[in-house]
Structure 1
Amino acid sequence: MKKVTFIHAADLHLDSPMAGLKNLPEPIFARLKESTFSSLRKIVDAAISNEVDFVILAGDLYDGEDRSLKAQSRFRAEMERLLGKGIPVFAIHGNHDHLGGSWVKMQMPENVHIFGSKTESVLLETESGAAVNLYGFSYPTRHVTERKIHTYEKAAGGDFHIGILHGSDGSTTEHGSYCPFAVGELLEKQFDYWALGHIHKRALLAENPPIVYPGNIQGRNRKETGEKGCYLVSLDEAGANLEFMETNDIVWHEADISARGITDFDGIYRLLLKEKEKFRRVGKGVLLSVILRDIGLAGQDELDSLHSNLLELLQDGEEDESSFVWTTKVQVLEEDSWERGDLAGEADFYNELFQVADGFGPASEVLEPLYGRLPARKHVSTLGKEEEALLLEEAERLLIRLLRN
């Protein structure tokens, strides 16, 4: 029975600037800046230790169209490690590192095949005698919005057929709708595996054959939570076996914690210290964002300390830890004694205020001058619907509290 094994990774975003995170302590920020390279090294380690037949990189190898020399140099060094073990690499470029960009080119080693702007098929004969047809294309420009699946034509012969595609299945709005496709269109091609890229969240769109988003190899902001990595894949006549392999050096997590029933600052502080330890992992760094709900502190001094001192206390000493848990943010949602209906009946002013709040458009509209202008949008990430709702809720609570004090 013929069999092939390979690594499927995507969205490396090498040398990502980690925009908006420079307020981190220098040791943690330096490690975060290095994390994409560390993740790539772990992928190569896994490929070598598992003696895979080849490696697939499904787009966005680099974070920008300028492809920094540092990123290219680090990538080439890792590819040379694979060359030394006789492991070929098949890669495509996506919307971030498209072929239309401008950069100083570094020559890649001979084991690396980069697919061109037109969909092509490449035949690989493995050492075990299996014939594998791999199909793919690189983005010629940043915005490839047309459907390209019709350009994937199954070649005659071969034991296995693997499609490589950087695009969107339409299941999320967090990433641009580039090179859209439907799962059914991929299934119709009767390939043995679809190696996808572009969506940074891991997803198995179909099992037979596998249609797989491995997600990105390293989370780069608080939206990209949880473990990140790649897949070790085995294909034979009976089907496929997929094993997820974690590669991230730093993990983003979010904790939603209730302080209901705790009546003093120290109690809340001790609760958060205990919860923080649940996220600590040997050899990993963790960046933790906390939503703290149901605050019922009676004293104003303790409440003020919650807003002004709690974050600093949770961060204290973590910059010196190799297995750190650095709290990036504590969003305090207080337990309010007022109800909207009561306030609306109390004064016409509150009634008008709530009407304005209910008619308030998406927060993204208010922030559009920030997102829409080039200097700022590099450093500001867009808000999701849940984040917008929390932001508006917190703003309303803060305004009511200030008005009633």
Structure 2
Amino acid sequence: MNRFTAYNGELRGFVESLLRYDTTEGGERDAQEWVLDRLDSYGFETYEWTADAERLATHPEFPDDPGEIPAADRPSVAGVAEFGDPEAGPTVVLNGHVDVVPADGTLWETDPFEPVWGEADDGAETLTARGAADMKVGTATCVFAGRALADAADDRDLNGRVVVESVAGEEEGGIGAAAAALDSPYPFERDAAIVAEPTDLVPVTATEGSVMKRLHVDGRSAHAARRWNGESVLPHFERIRRAFEDLEAERAERVAHPLYERFANPWPVNVGTVRAGSWASSVPASLDAEVRIGVAPGETIEEAEAEFAARLREVVEDSEWLSAHPPTFERFSVQFSAAETDPDAAVVTALRDAMTAAGLAETAPVGETYGADSRHFVRAGIPAVVFGPGNVDEAHFPNESIRWDDVLAAGEIITDAARRLLS
């Protein structure tokens, strides 16, 4: 029996307990204290750190104003296991995050924070709860992969370290991981990382970036009975939106990457919020929209941002009203840099070999249109691959679920990949 699979019963109990913690909106502390206690009881040397907002404000992806970075009272925790001569082998990080996005209980068939075991159409066992896919179960998988490796230390020639991380604030830009990238909480170097986000047991070596922009357009108000005396912002916004949509299509053809060929629209642009007008009987005189722009691996945030700023200028120059009343288009929130790890890096090779040994036929790396904490490792010079149980299509959705057989498979593969690196 695989040493990871031997922990199946304990893993189930760990996962059920972790899923019951509501870790939305900065509420990670209680869960992290519980995880830290568990790591200590399992024999790991434990570490804890909390991001400093002023320090994160120096990071190019975070706002310059520390007051806009919700870092306070959000600890990240880790456990370290050492093997043989720790300095003679690599340090491998198995990373997951404990925070989850909010869950609207009215859209769920069950309580989002009460794990429910069920059965898929094909008979496979499933687990439903907020964080089942994204990604408390992935975090738990890392913990028990670390335990399985520690059990194997006596009968295998292993050297190095395994670090199991449960970080805070991933959904808000990677607060815990970014802090650890800026100032390592460990007294040793880190050499490789596996981030156990839901990839459907496919290795992801490239993640997309994004830039968040807030568009403001001014018009002129008037009474609805004399609508022609005003200047509605809506037609102007619609011209800008269509121009951005056209540029999105152009970039899909022009900005190529071999790991993204399966996507018809690899660098999507999304207008997520639009707020316009103040009263049904008044011409809408102002509009604010929030826009997420996809950034390709190999492309900087600034390069993608500049393309959309240039397209906006073209729309403005083509409009007498907008030329006289130019819109603003400014960054807000956290930005995500695109990141990529060499597919021939040792951590990727070890993972693919472990996948092959587990009987998986498709082991070729792919790129994904989302961002992950892997980018913070890459930025710190640490090769990172994203690989874990669950499907991203379940992430952030009501009735979020994961197949338990995928969890066990992922745990076996992650354990084996780390063992191969330590060997």
TM-score band (shorter)?
under 0.3
Higher gyration radius (CA): 1
The one of the two structures with greater contact order (alpha-carbon pairs below 8 A, sep at least 6) is 2
TM-score in terms of structure 2 length: 0.22
More helix by share: 2
TM-score in terms of structure 1 length: 0.23
